[in-house]
Every structure is written in structure tokens, then in C-alpha cells.
Chain A
Amino acid sequence: MQLDMTEIETITRDLYIRALKLLPEDIKSGFSRLQQGETDRTGRAILDTMVENVVVAERTKNLLCQDTGIPIYNVWIGRDVAFDGVALKEAIRRGCERATREHPLRSSVVHPITRQNEQTSCGAGVPIIHVDFTETPETVEIEMIPKGSGSENGSFLRMLVPADGVAAVKRFVIDRVIEAGGKVCPPTIVGVGIGGTSDLCMHLAKIAATRPLGSVSADPEGAALEAELSAAVNELGIGPQGLGGRSTAFAVHVEIAVTHITMNPVAVNIQCHSARRARAVLTPGGIRFGF
């Protein structure tokens, strides 16, 4: 299987727009679950409006949220796929620029010092592109995540030490969810990274925050923590938009990597209720779009 870069450019353009318009099915189901369990009157009304917004976005073919985010493309390349890696990254960047210009979309990225906006959704380091490899033969998967800033500003890292134990990890998560409050657009997915180096820990938290609802940590200790923390954060009473209620988070997701004998790092990265992502799977048989 040979990757056609013209096709990649079109697909990555379409993925950005699809991600901004269509809420994944697992998040829609997550809303239904929260609606059933919400006892706070304001909380219920807010959840109902959020669900109404999803319907309006579909009907008017509009963006779910005005925040076009920082564009992230995750690519998984299977065996027996021939491609030029540099051309692949260039094609993704062009796709991202074309989505911004052709739809048009708000370019939400600026230089951090000059605050200059190139109006392309691109710049140094952006779009963020991660490439990894899988066993699956003749298959390429591309996931697009427009990561909104309200929730991305709810990112935290703490280099705990072994003597702090797992209790400090749990306390850190609870306290950061409290600190984030309504600013991160709850109900959220709270992504927690545990272990690794500082950068891997933060990356694990992002993977956790953008994983589909219903997916479970591959590590049994991580899975146990997910269940415990998911219940705990919804006892805090922060609620939808931080205005009170049970529905603070759809879930807490945990991703784990081994770490150094002297280290016990924990990171939190939060995904807002507009938990957008889109996926394309390329095989010799054609392209399949989904979430």
C-alpha cells in the first residue's frame, strides 16, 4: 500500500472540519447517562442545553463550539505501507491550512511572544503531529483532535516523590479538578498521566483525556484508579459549567508508564464537554470516516 499525499491532504482537511461539527457517539451516550443522574435543577437545564446544541450543530451543519482549538493529528501506520515521512507531515499541514481557509475556520493559534496570528491554524510546532506504528497490515489511521483552550488551560504537572505514595496522586487530581472548577467547561473527561518522565507524564494525561468514553486503562492499577476517581470527582458538586450538580466529569481516565525509582510524577489534562475527535481509516479498500 502506497500513501497518496494528495489524498492525505484532503482527508486531514476534512477531518478537522468533521471533528468540529460531529460529536462522537460515546460522548452523546455520556450526556444521556449524566442527564439521568443529575439531580440539580440548574445542572439539568445546562445539560439539556448542551444536548440541544449538538442537535442544532447537526441541523445547521455548524461547528459545535467556536473554539477551533490547537489542531492535533495522531497517525498510526501499519505494516506494508510505503510512504515518504516528510511528505506526510507536509500534507497534514497543508490539510490543516486548507480547512482553515476553505471552510473558513477561526485560526486560534498565535506566536507565544509576539501574539501574531498567521490566520492558518499553523505555525512553529503546530499542527501537532504524532506518528506511531502498528501491526495491522496495509492500514493507516489518522485521528484529528481540535483541543480547546478552556480545558487545555486546565493542565497540571507535579513531580511527586515515592514517599508521597498514591494518596498524593489522588489528592493532586481532586485538587486540580476543584481548581479548574467551571473554567474547563464541565462536564469533562479528566485525563491523568502517572509515571514516565515529566513530558511523557503530560502526554499520557492528554492520551487519557482524549480516549473514548467506555475505554479502560490497559494497566489494572490504572483501571482501578479510574473507577475510584470517576466516582469521587462527581461527589464534589462542581457540576455543569461549575454552577453546581453531580455532573462534573463524564469520567476520569488514567494512563500509566513506568517511572524512575526516585520519581512519582502525576499530570492532569482536561477535555471539555465538547470532546471532539474524528478518525479516518485508510486501507487498500478505501477510506472509512468515524470517531
Chain B
Amino acid sequence: MAHHVLEMPTDEAAVRRLAAGDTVTLERTLYGIRDATLIAMFDRDRRTRFDLTGHAVLHTAPNVRKVPASAGHPAGYAPVCIGTTTSMRMERFTRPLMAREGVRIIIGKGGLGEATLAALRDLGGAYLAVIGGAAALETTWIEAIEDVDLDDLHPESLWRFRIKGFGPLLVGMDSSGNSLYERVGEAVAARRAAVLAKLGASG
């Protein structure tokens, strides 16, 4: 159970060293992405001007305040509350994000499925769990909104955040085919029959 600090962007070798159960803190840069962004990018073939190679993307759509652009708020947005959304809705986008855009790390909550686990293994990536609903805390890890693209999808734009000490995050899924979610899921499935029997509801 090692702790890793990653200065973003990172590379395949560093990501392949992350093992399920390890913890990670990210530094420097993080991108925010979610349903509408991914649908636009991969179902409608819209391209971003950002180079996501080696980067981490967070499943999020932030609360922001529009402000005059300045050194502190170069994109004209101040962060209000930035948290994490449920990942599973975006399962089918992991592989294209990695293959086409070069993304190495997906950050979200609740875990992703088999298609993601295969993509992480084939292309060299990791899924990091942030604690959902702990957005006030998560916001303190974000220094600024540096830039934004595809903002017609607001708030589901593609956001670039400057981060400081973003974590600790838990490696939920790694590039060796390990998933903490799969492990818990198997344990839960094994307990189901006993729980139902106790309720007089076997079947």
C-alpha cells in the first residue's frame, strides 16, 4: 500500500506502478469532464484544443462564478464548489479517452466496469477514487480554473484546473486487472443468500 505523488502530466510507466489499494496525490494540472463533454467529443466528434496526453480527468461539473479575467482567474471563472460525480454513466468513454486523447488517469466515484478495466490494462491507465459528496473539501485542493473549452456545454464544459495536493485518492482500479469494486462486488454477491435467508426471502 504505497503512496504516490504525481506531477501531472505523467507517463505510462508511472501509472503502471499504481496498484489497487495504493493512495495517490496529484499536483499541478487536472481536467474536468462529464457526460455532455464526452458525448460531444466521441459521439459527435468534437475536438478540444487541449492536449490531454498523460493527464488525469475528473468526472465533474463544477459550481463556478463568472468574474473578469485576471491573473488569478485566467478563464474568467472563480471556483465555487468542485466535486465528483458518479463514474459509471461514462463507462464507455474510458477507452476512447485513453486511445484518442492520451488520458492516463480517470478520477471519479463509485467505480467503473469491465470495459474500463480492460482499457486500463491494454493502454496503461488507472482509476482513482475520490470520496463522492466531499466537495467542500475537494474544492480546497483546487487553486484556480486555468482554462475552459467547449463552454457552450456549460457547466459540462471541459475544464482545466490548477491543483495543489489533490488527494489522497485511492487507486480503485489498476493496469494489472485489479478492481477494488469487483472485489467488493464478489464479496457482496457471496453474502446475498445468507442475508435473504435471514429475512425469510430466499429465492
Contacts and interface: CB of A to CB of B under 8 A. Distances in A.
A242 interface: yes
A243 B170 contact: yes
B138 to A, nearest CB: 8
B139 A62 contact: yes
Given A66-B81, A119-B154, A235-B195, A185 B137 contact: no
B62 A242 contact: no
A52 B135 CA distance: 11
19 contacts: A49-B137, A53-B134, A65-B83, A66-B60, A66-B61, A66-B138, A150-B85, A150-B132, A171-B199, A181-B111, A184-B86, A185-B133, A232-B198, A232-B199, A235-B195, A236-B191, A236-B192, A237-B191, A273-B133
Contacts of A103: 80
A243 B129 contact: yes
Contacts of B195: 174, 232, 235-236
Prevailing SS type, chain B contact patch: mixed
B86 A183 contact: yes
B85 A67 contact: yes
B109 interface: yes
A235 B65 CA distance: 43
Nearest to A153: B86
A46 B80 contact: no
Contact of A66 (B66, B83, B189): B83
Counting chain B CB atoms within 10 Å of each CB, which of A50, A236, A238 scores highest? A236
Of A50, A174, A237, the most chain B CB neighbours within 10 A belong to: A237
A102 B61 CA distance: 19
A50 B131 contact: yes
A242 B63 contact: no
A150 B61 CA distance: 13
Interface in B104-118: 109-111
A171 B196 contact: yes
Contacts of B134: 49-50, 52-53, 65
Interface string A56-69: 11001011111110
Nearest to B134: A53
A171 B201 contact: yes
Interface string B128-168: 01011111111110000000000000110000000000000
Contact of B135 (A63, A107, A117, A170): A63
Nearest to A21: B136
A168 interface: yes
Contacts of B111: 181-183, 242
Given A236-B195, A273-B133, A244 B184 contact: yes
Interface size class of A (residues with CB under 8 A): 35 or more
Contacts of B13: none
A108 B36 CA distance: 12
Contacts of A107: 155
B85 to A, nearest CB: 7
A242 B181 contact: yes
Given A167-B200, A228-B199, A65 B133 contact: yes
A217 interface: no
Given A174-B195, A235-B195, A244-B184, A66 B110 contact: no
A64 B84 CA distance: 12
Contact of B136 (A60, A67, A244): A60
A52 B134 CA distance: 8
A196 interface: no
A239 interface: yes
Contacts of B81: 62-63, 65-66, 106
A229 B185 CA distance: 20
B86 A185 contact: yes
A284 interface: no
B69 interface: no
Contacts of A53: 131, 133-137
B136 A57 contact: yes
Given A49-B134, A106-B62, A67 B83 contact: yes
A93 B132 CA distance: 29
